[in-house]
Every structure is written in structure tokens, then in C-alpha cells.
């Protein structure tokens, strides 16, 4: 079973109370519950962490290189500042998808740049909790063809030999 590490960055533990007009009313528990349902549908395993500390996020990504197949990350405010998280994702070489609840390009100019996006496969921004769901759908879909490509030839070889 493919393993995906979900990382929620700083202040996302406050979802539901923090600026609901921007981030919505769903809290992190509800978002994680949704993600688990998507993961069950795709038969992938999720590990979910939230951290307010840049170094801890860097450490998690470094370890994920050996333990996980992909990353789904909302780097929150570190999106716009963290060369360290960007470098960690690049060094891990894992498939990564960046998500944001709000549309960062429709907000203050300092949020328009993501240092993380260039080392990710793609970004989903602006759909509230649906951004997470779509991001996980993308990760699971991108992981799946690898399974299929590996499985198909061995099935064919066995069939021919029989
Ligand atoms: C955010 C957008 C960031 O600019 C902000 O600092 C956050 C949340 C989002 O999900 O919309 O904390 O990543």
C-alpha cells in the first residue's frame, strides 16, 4: 500500500476559529476525516502531522524520503518564506503536491509567491477544504499508474508461460 505524508503547516491547528471568512469553518479534524475517506477510496495509507516549526517540518520531510511515497503539504505561511522546506522537498525527491485553502493569488501581494511550488508536481489553491481533497486525489492518481505498470508485465509473462 502506498504511503502519503500529509503536512499541515503553522497555525492550521486554528482552522475553524481563524479568519473563517478566508479559511472557512471546517476545523483540522474535519479536514483530516475527509482526507482519510479519500485515502480509503484509493487504498492508500495516510500519516498526518501538523507543525508550527520549520525545522520539524524539514525533519519530517527528510525522514519521509525513506518511509513514504509522496507528500501532500499545506506549508501555510512558510509557503512564502521557507527555502529550507523547499530544499527538503527537492532533496527528498518525493512526489509532492502543495495545497492552500485560500486562493493565495487573490490575496496580499506577499502571498503571491510560493517558494514551494517549483519543487512540487502541482498546486491546488482556493477551494477551501476541497483543495485538500483534490490534492490527495491528484497524489493518489499519480501514484496508481506505477502500481499498474509494475503489475501488468508480470501478469502477462505468467499467462504466456502457462
Ligand atoms: C494558507 C495561505 C497562506 O498564505 C497562509 O499563511 C496560511 C494558509 C492557505 O491554506 O490558504 O496560513 O496556506
pLDDT values of the chain reduced to their tens digit, one per residue, 162 residues? 999 999 999 999 999 999 999 999 999 999 999 999 999 999 999 999 999 999 999 999 999 999 999 999 999 999 999 999 999 999 999 999 999 999 999 999 999 999 999 999 999 999 999 999 999 999 999 999 654 455 454 444 444 544
Tell me what pLDDT residue 148 has: 45
pLDDT value for 155: 46
Nearest CA residue ID for atom 6, ligand 1: 77
Q: Report whether residue 101 contacts ligand 1, using a CB cutoff of 6 Å.
A: yes
The C-alpha angle with vertex 42 and arms to 93 and 101, in degrees rounded to 5, equals 65
From the CB of 111, is ligand 1 less than 6 Å away?
yes
- What's the pTM value of the predicted model, to 2 decimals? 0.90
Is 8 noted as a catalytic residue in this protein? no
Q: Is the CB of 142 under 6 A from ligand 1?
A: no
Distance in Å, CA 42 to ligand 1 centroid: 27
User: Does residue 115 have its Cβ closer than 6 Å to ligand 1?
Assistant: no
Atom of ligand 1 nearest to the CA of 107: 4
Is the beta carbon of 82 within 6 A of some atom in ligand 1? Answer: no
Give the pLDDT of residue 160. Answer: 52
- In ligand 1, the atom with minimum distance to the C-alpha of 75 is 13
Q: Would you call 159 a catalytic residue per the annotation?
A: no
Can you give the pLDDT at residue 157? 45
Ligand 1 atom closest to Cα of residue 9: 12
Amino acid at each position: 500500500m502506498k504511503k502519503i505524508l500529509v503536512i499541515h503547516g503553522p497555525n492550521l491547528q486554528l482552522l475553524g476559529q481563524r479568519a473563517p471568512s478566508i479559511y472557512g469553518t471546517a476545523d483540522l479534524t474535519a479536514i483530516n476525516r475527509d482526507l482519510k475517506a479519500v485515502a480509503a477510496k484509493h487504498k492508500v495509507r495516510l500519516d498526518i502531522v501538523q507543525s508550527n516549526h520549520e525545522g520539524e517540518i524539514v525533519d519530517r520531510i527528510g525522514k519521509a524520503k525513506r518511509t513514504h511515497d509522496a507528500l501532500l503539504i499545506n506549508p501555510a505561511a512558510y509557503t512564502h518564506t521557507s527555502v529550507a522546506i523547499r530544499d527538503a522537498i527537492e532533496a527528498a525527491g518525493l512526489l509532492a503536491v502543495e495545497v492552500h485553502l485560500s486562493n493565495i493569488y487573490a490575496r496580499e501581494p506577499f502571498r503571491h509567491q510560493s517558494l514551494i511550488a517549483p519543487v512540487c508536481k502541482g498546486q491546488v489553491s482556493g477551494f477551501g477544504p476541497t483543495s485538500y481533497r483534490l490534492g490527495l486525489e491528484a497524489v493518489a492518481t499519480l501514484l496508481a499508474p506505477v502500481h499498474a505498470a509494475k503489475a501488468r508485465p508480470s501478469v502477462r509473462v505468467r499467462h504466456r508461460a502457462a
